[in-house]
Amino acid sequence: MSSPVSSHSAGPQGFWRKYVFSLDHKVIGRQYLDLSLVALTTGMILSWLMRMHLGWPTKAIPGLGAIAPEAAGGIITPEYYLSLMTMHGTIMVFFVLTTAPFAGFGNFILPIQIGAEDMAFPRFNMMSFWVTFVAFVILVAAFFVPEGPPLSGWTAYAPLSAVGKDAGPGQGWGQTLWVISIGTFCIAQLLGSLNFIATTLDLRTKGMSLARMPFSTWAWFITSVIGLIAFSVLLPACVLLLLDRVAGTSFFIPAGLVISDRLQPHAGGSPLLWQHLFWFFGHPEVYIAILPGFGIVSHILPAVTRKPLLGPRVFIACMIAIAFLSYTVWGHHMFMSGMNPFSATVFSVPTLIITIPAAITTLLWIGTLYGAKLRFNTAALFCLAFISVFVSGGISGFFLAQPAIDSYLHGTYFVVGHFHFVMGVAAMFGILAGTYFWFPKMFGRMMNERLGKIHFFLTFIGVYCIFMPMHYLGLGGNVRRYSAFTVDYMKGSVPLHRFITVAALFTGAAQLIFFYNLIRSRFRGQIATDNPWEATSLEWTTSSPPPHDNFGGHHPVVYHGPNEYGVAGRNGDYIMQNSPEPDPATPTAAARTPATA
């Protein structure tokens, strides 16, 4: 059942309008995903360089000296190590973890899931991609300016990030480019979030009430609300930082600051002000990275377990609670900043409270899995892996949420292990699950399952080998951000660092299987049907790939929620959202009782 669309067009045919400056949300979504794949590769290579140096600090890295003048002879200096760390963190957080799951998949899938032809503002949409692209180019340009990229970390703490050249190599042009790049990125994300919110509110098709929206759409919607608020605070912070750097103001630079034997010509600024503004953005950013993963997992799990998601409304309420609480906890990144211990306690409490909705969602996923006859495809495996690393990384969060324990662990590898699990790898597994699940819809061909499973097992075992030992290193007092551990009491940690390095190289190499699978399946994969996973949401009612206006001249009409699995439907054990058949009275026996036989 469907109703006609007023303006049906076949879409532009010229190369530039069709593939480059396209207004089609599907093309823009793919552009975001391509950009984040480039960013991911860049960020991963940077992490390899860091890992190789940490394992074998005195050995030259072949070829590095030729391309990076800062690492003469292929030996990474402590300063260059910090540059690599800064660029790795910035690229991964902004251009992979924000870009891929939210802007990428969200752009491609969200309008189709709500039965719209496109986003609410296609021109803004195109602009937000190209502004993101420009931001990435500006950031990467920092590699090529004199003295190289900045070294103040992805958090760009002032005054180190604010005073310019005196603070070290890369703190001149490199840091200025960093600030401009992130400011530009904020503008792109604000445009994107605005578009997502207006689209979800105004362009839902007939029958698509809020309660009938798929979980992934809910997640992108909530993420865009978080992003709207978070990036509107980071942008002013970047403006203030840029003014401190280029216009001689003193927002963040205190008086009497002497760096490199030079008295800095600034007075009275507050370095803590930067931390407050940054983390007011920075903590919600964690949820911008992970909530789309929540949505993707909750979207895929019912399709692979053939059971409805347990507690769908509770799940959505939990996401809203997380979004709200994410704005009350930023101070837990600043326990070590010299803040009042009373403030630390105040921030510690909501930090512990936010684990409750997170734990509830985890229990809902496990409850959904309980007794299910799982279809073990690659997307399902990555969903399971998402839950696994989210729990592993989340548990270490309990320790860090307490100021007394955090003051010991904050500067150590324990934190590195924690956030890589819970934010990095978990979000990454969400992205990978989404890729294996939606690839048939995006390109009309299936990905290779055998290669997918090999990729999965190597990656899953690999990330545990990389990040689990970091927790032990941290407990043992191994500080982070140091470029080598050869000369002092930390010498004993070097064998474990070598193990992590080898694991990182292997896990990275395993991604070549994924790249090969992506490219091969794009052209040689088995042709996909419209609904290969027997899923219920609207993207599976249209052709693979969907036509330019998504539903071929019609708007679908929605009769059901997205969670109708394990029921006696017309086509099997599920009911498509646009199927006019009546709601099933009761779930079938198979869905209600666990298959214990």
Q: Which two tokens stand for residue 306?
A: 């053939």
Stretch that binds another protein, among 27-35, 247-255, 299-307, 399-407 (CB under 8 A): 247-255
Does 270 engage in binding with another protein (CB under 8 A)?
yes
- Contacts for 368-372: CB closer than 8 Å, 24+ residues apart: 368/301, 368/302, 368/305, 368/307, 368/308, 368/309, 368/310, 369/301, 369/305, 370/594, 371/593, 371/594, 371/595, 371/596, 372/305, 372/306, 372/307, 372/594, 372/595
Q: What is the nearest approach in angstroms of another protein to the Cβ of residue 228? A: 5
Listed in sequence order, the residues at least 6 apart from 122 whose beta carbon sits closer than 8 Å to its beta carbon are 23, 24, 25
Identify which of residues 190 and 446 has a Cβ nearer to another protein in the complex.
190
Of the residues 134, 243, 317, 391, which one makes contact with another protein according to CB under 8 A: 243
DSSP state of 98: I
Asked whether the bond before 159 is cis by omega within 30 degrees of 0, the reply is yes
DSSP per residue, 551-586: SSSEEE---S-TT-BSS--SSSSB--TT--SPPPSS
Binding mask 399-438 for another protein (x = CB under 8 A): ----------------------------------------
Of the residues 69, 146, 236, 341, which one makes contact with another protein according to CB under 8 A: 236
Stretch that binds another protein, among 72-80, 239-247, 466-474, 534-542 (CB under 8 A): 239-247
Does 194 engage in binding with another protein (CB under 8 A)?
yes
CA–CA gap between residue 297 and residue 381 (Å, rounded): 10
Binding mask 338-357 for another protein (x = CB under 8 A): --------------------
> Which sign, positive or negative, has the C-alpha torsion 291, 292, 295, 301?
negative
Stretch that binds another protein, among 105-113, 276-284, 436-444, 454-462 (CB under 8 A): 276-284
Tokens 């997170």 correspond to 358
Q: What is the nearest approach in angstroms of another protein to the Cβ of residue 121? A: 6
- Per the CB < 8 A criterion, the answer to whether 300 and 365 are in contact is no
Of the residues 39, 71, 179, 190, which one makes contact with another protein according to CB under 8 A: 190
Does 239 engage in binding with another protein (CB under 8 A)?
yes
Q: Which two tokens stand for residue 211?
A: 């309660």
DSSP state of 3: E
Of the residues 181, 195, 368, 377, which one makes contact with another protein according to CB under 8 A: 195
- Report CA-CA distances (Å) from 205 to 24, 29, 234, 315, 432: 18, 21, 34, 23, 29
Of the residues 86, 128, 175, 250, which one makes contact with another protein according to CB under 8 A: 250
Q: Which two tokens stand for residue 167?
A: 């603070």
Does 228 engage in binding with another protein (CB under 8 A)?
yes
Listed in sequence order, the residues at least 6 apart from 246 whose beta carbon sits closer than 8 Å to its beta carbon are 176
Stretch that binds another protein, among 249-257, 394-402, 453-461, 492-500 (CB under 8 A): 249-257
Q: What is the nearest approach in angstroms of another protein to the Cβ of residue 179? A: 15
Of the residues 255, 263, 356, 404, which one makes contact with another protein according to CB under 8 A: 255
In terms of Cα–Cα distance, which of 557, 388, 433 is closest to 2? 557
In terms of Cα–Cα distance, which of 251, 244, 221, 138 is closest to 187? 138
Does 202 engage in binding with another protein (CB under 8 A)?
yes
Does 288 engage in binding with another protein (CB under 8 A)?
no
Does 269 engage in binding with another protein (CB under 8 A)?
yes
CA–CA gap between residue 289 and residue 412 (Å, rounded): 23
Does 249 engage in binding with another protein (CB under 8 A)?
yes
* β-pair type (262-263, 258-259): antiparallel
Task: Give rounded-to-5 percent helix, strand, coil for the chain.
Answer: 65, 5, 35
Does 125 engage in binding with another protein (CB under 8 A)?
no
Does 111 engage in binding with another protein (CB under 8 A)?
no
Does 238 engage in binding with another protein (CB under 8 A)?
no
Q: What is the nearest approach in angstroms of another protein to the Cβ of residue 198? A: 4
Q: What is the nearest approach in angstroms of another protein to the Cβ of residue 168? A: 23
Stretch that binds another protein, among 30-38, 246-254, 475-483, 550-558 (CB under 8 A): 246-254
Of the residues 1, 201, 359, 404, which one makes contact with another protein according to CB under 8 A: 201
CA–CA gap between residue 71 and residue 60 (Å, rounded): 9
Three-state DSSP class for 105? helix
Of the residues 247, 487, 585, 595, which one makes contact with another protein according to CB under 8 A: 247
Q: What is the nearest approach in angstroms of another protein to the Cβ of residue 171? A: 19
CA–CA gap between residue 378 and residue 517 (Å, rounded): 12
Identify which of residues 249 and 402 has a Cβ nearer to another protein in the complex.
249
Identify which of residues 99 and 193 has a Cβ nearer to another protein in the complex.
193
> How many residues form the binding site for another protein (CB under 8 A)?
38
Identify which of residues 119 and 427 has a Cβ nearer to another protein in the complex.
119
Applying CB under 8 A, the residues found at the interface with another protein are 120-121, 190, 193-195, 197-199, 201-203, 228-229, 231-233, 235-237, 239-240, 243, 247-251, 254-255, 267-270, 273, 276-277, 280
